[in-house]
Amino acid sequence: MWAALVSVLALGLALGGPRDGLAQGASKQQVVELMMLSGANRALERVTDLYLPMLELSRDKMPQAVHKGLKNLMLRAFDPRRLNAQYVAALQAGLDEKLLMASSEWLKSPLGLRLTRLEVEASTEEGRKRMETWSKRLGGIPPLRTRFELMLRLVHATNGAVVAAETEVIVKEPIIQTLNATAPEKERQTPERMFAKLVKMRDELLDKKAQLLVTQMLYTYRDVSDDELRRYVVFLESQTGRQYTDRANAAMLAALRESNDWIAARFHQLF
């Protein structure tokens, strides 16, 4: 199996994932409903947007048969239904019923429902196009200081930049590893160098993802008042908000890593 960026266990520890004594009481159905409420299922549907462009660009850099096989493996591994199931299993393992109910209460509140709806709308292809138009129309005009500070608190509270960077590295790793495996022998890099390359890629993405998230949030919440955003931040910074966010993030990355490992176990079939 190729060198991994980090193990699922390391991700869980770093992001406050599953912990002993907390995997009691939450049923699978409850966790599925929580996933739907939060919009996590919609985020998993967009994973293909992260790797397909790079996969297409690599078409002429590896044998056609290898490229076709890799694409088939990635489409199967990152199929939304598979990812949803893996996400639910990972989240259920780290979520007790008390935390689930408290998180659901927020997500079912009028403000919680509204914010999730806005996030889902902004994440669609049409939403992304509108955000680009909106950003260009602003012409670099900076947001009000209070608004900008709220955005920074949101990025920090959600750990959004870290999760976005990790996600991109995880889903692109199979392509990077295949390009290395099909390169001329003298140009191939060792597992240690590949590991360092992935870590460097992740680190370089962090600032870019943080800046992009601020822009995305400014657009997504453009019609949400400062007071409403403060209520959102207060929830995210509360003990319940932190615990739920940490576990949801860890479950998201665990689901992606499981699919990555599934591809790695079948990597030899490409050659």
* DSSP characters over 114-165: HHHHHHHHHHSHHHHHHHHHHHHHHTTPPPPHHHHHHHHHHHHHHTHHHHHH
CA–CA separation, 31 and 35 (whole Å): 6
CA–CA separation, 38 and 18 (whole Å): 19
pLDDT of residue 144: 83
Q: Determine contact, residues 50/172, Cβ cutoff 8 Å.
A: yes
CA–CA separation, 145 and 139 (whole Å): 17
* Residue 96, helix vs strand vs coil: strand
CA–CA separation, 99 and 105 (whole Å): 10
Q: For residue 113, give the H/E element and its range.
A: helix 110-123
The closest of 10, 12, 36, 37 to 22, measured between CA atoms, is 12
pLDDT of residue 140: 64
Q: Token pair of 222, please?
A: 């453009």
| Angle subtended at Cα 41 by Cα 235 and Cα 231, rounded to the nearest 5 degrees | 15
Residue numbers of the chain with a pLDDT score lower than 70: 1-25, 139-142
pLDDT of residue 14: 41
Q: Determine contact, residues 196/236, Cβ cutoff 8 Å.
A: no
CA–CA separation, 108 and 141 (whole Å): 35
Strand partners, 25: 96
